[in-house]
């Protein structure tokens, strides 16, 4: 990181979803035209922006959010984010729109099916681009969200001297196309994704696999579930194995926790292998319900 960026008071601003996650537990998924009873129902703070930010903030990363929620966004969730020290100046409340809501249905075998109501994150019309306070940050993490807004935000951040990481997550399959994806890829220095997402990124970029993506972005971070995580660089590949969780409480948000742990090492100036290891440890803590 250059000297001017080190002098900025904040590390990372994350532009992505802040959700209301509604978890429904069932014995088995219903077939077509069938009904099954809900065994339990709970609501939690979710969304990639919120979960990455919480994981990073717990590890002393100075982090903020850019996201849209509705007037129905629970006040206790806002208090949770603020209590973690997360900068909420970019958390915009949209009148007349609901908060983004994920419906996560889990069966007895811990298999999941997820539906999302985009709510206030569904339409970029009228979105307020962050003001001059964005200059306080050294990096921006562009995650889930409407590509049109993310592209405008990427341009604004770049003009303010921020460095760019991109991480469309599952939305790379249904919100991004080849022309839109190639635009933020050009100035980006970091690309995150799981194996399927990195394959899709290569397809949209018109290249072959992670090695091809290195022609466009110098560092690709790929999470690989129980096999660990890999970092692809122009100097070679670094891989770390995953630790085995002592107990499985949830697998929702494990990838987001990984990113928070990775960034903790990244902003501390740790070697790449150490950053991956910290990410893997954070993911396991999330799975165990300890983070």
Helix, strand, coil percentages in the chain from 3-state DSSP, rounded to 5: 35, 25, 35
User: Looking at the 3D structure of the chain, how many domains does it have?
Assistant: 1
Q: Could you say which residues of the chain have pLDDT below 50? A: 1, 3
Contact 199, 222 (CB under 8 A): no
Token reading at 191: 């690309």
β partners of residue 68: 92
CATH number of the CATH domain containing 92: 3.40.1190.20
Whether 275 and 266 have beta carbons less than 8 Å apart is answered as: yes
Q: Is residue 71 part of a domain?
A: yes
- Count of other CB atoms within 10 angstroms of residue 271: 10
| Distance, CA of 33 to chain centre | 34
State the pLDDT at residue 110.
86
Cα–Cα dist 280/162, whole Å: 26
* Residue 257 near residue 235, CB atoms below 8 Å: no
- Does residue 188 sit within a domain? yes
Q: Assess if residue 37 is contained within a domain.
A: no
- Count of positions (residues) in the chain: 291
Whole-number pLDDT of residue 127: 67
Helix (H, G, I), strand (E, B) or coil at 132: helix
> Rounded to whole angstroms, what are the CA distances from 251 to 18, 106, 285?
18, 11, 10
Examine residue 182 and state whether it is found in any structural domain, yes or no: yes
Q: Give a yes or no: residue 110 inside a domain.
A: no
| Residue 59 CA to its chain's centroid (Å) | 16
Give the pLDDT score at 180. 94
pLDDT value of residue 26: 96
Looking at residue 62, what is its pLDDT?
Answer: 97
Whole-angstrom CA distances from 47 to 75, 129, 237, 257, 274 are 16, 20, 30, 11, 26
Tell me whether residue 145 is in a domain: yes
Which H or E run contains 281? Answer: helix 272-287
pLDDT at 249: 85
Q: Which two tokens stand for residue 137?
A: 């940050």
Residue 100 DSSP class: P
For position 119, what pLDDT does the model report? 94
What is the per-residue pLDDT for 3? 47
Residue 124 lies inside a defined structural domain of this protein: no
Residue 166 contacts residue 184 (beta carbons within 8 Å): yes
Task: Answer yes or no: are the C-beta atoms of 287 and 248 closer than 8 Å.
Answer: yes
Residue 23 lies in a domain: no
Q: What is the dihedral of CA 139, 231, 102, 284, to 10 degrees?
A: -110
Residue with tokens 């972005």: 217
Question: Which residue range is the domain that position 236 belongs to?
Answer: 3-18+48-98+135-287
Which pLDDT value is given to residue 288?
Answer: 87
3-class DSSP assignment, residue 74: coil
User: From CA 275, how far away is CA 264, in angstroms rounded?
Assistant: 7
Q: Where are the beta strands (DSSP E) in 71-130?
A: 87-94, 101-106, 112-117
């Amino acid at each position: 990181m250059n000297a001017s960026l080190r002098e900025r008071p904040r590390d990372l601003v994350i532009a992505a979803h802040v959700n209301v996650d509604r978890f429904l537990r069932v014995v088995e998924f219903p077939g077509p035209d069938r009904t099954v009873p809900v065994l339990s129902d709970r609501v939690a703070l979710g969304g990639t922006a919120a979960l990455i930010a919480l994981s990073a903030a717990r590890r002393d990363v100075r982090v903020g959010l850019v996201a849209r929620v509705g007037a129905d966004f629970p006040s206790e969730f806002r208090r949770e984010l603020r209590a973690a020290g997360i900068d909420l100046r970019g958390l915009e409340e949209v009148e007349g729109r609901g908060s983004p809501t994920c419906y996560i249905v889990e069966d007895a075998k811990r298999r999941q099916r997820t539906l999302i109501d985009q709510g206030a994150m569904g339409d970029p019309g009228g979105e307020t681009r962050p003001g001059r306070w964005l200059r306080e940050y050294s990096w921006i993490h562009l995650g889930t969200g409407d590509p049109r807004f993310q592209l405008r935000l990427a341009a604004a951040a770049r003009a303010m001297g921020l460095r760019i990481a991109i991480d469309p997550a599952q939305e790379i399959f249904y919100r991004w196309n080849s022309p839109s994806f190639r635009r933020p890829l050009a100035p980006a220095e970091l690309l995150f994704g799981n194996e399927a997402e990195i394959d899709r990124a290569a397809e949209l970029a018109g290249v072959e696999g992670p090695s091809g993506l290195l022609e466009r972005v110098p560092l690709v971070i790929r999470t690989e579930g129980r096999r660990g995580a890999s970092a692809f660089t122009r100097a070679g590949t670094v891989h770390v194995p995953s630790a085995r969780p002592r107990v499985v409480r949830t697998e929702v948000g494990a990838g987001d926790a990984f990113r928070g742990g990775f960034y903790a090492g990244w902003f501390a100036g740790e070697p790449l292998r150490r950053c991956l290891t910290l990410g893997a440890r954070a993911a396991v803590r999330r799975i165990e319900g300890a983070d």
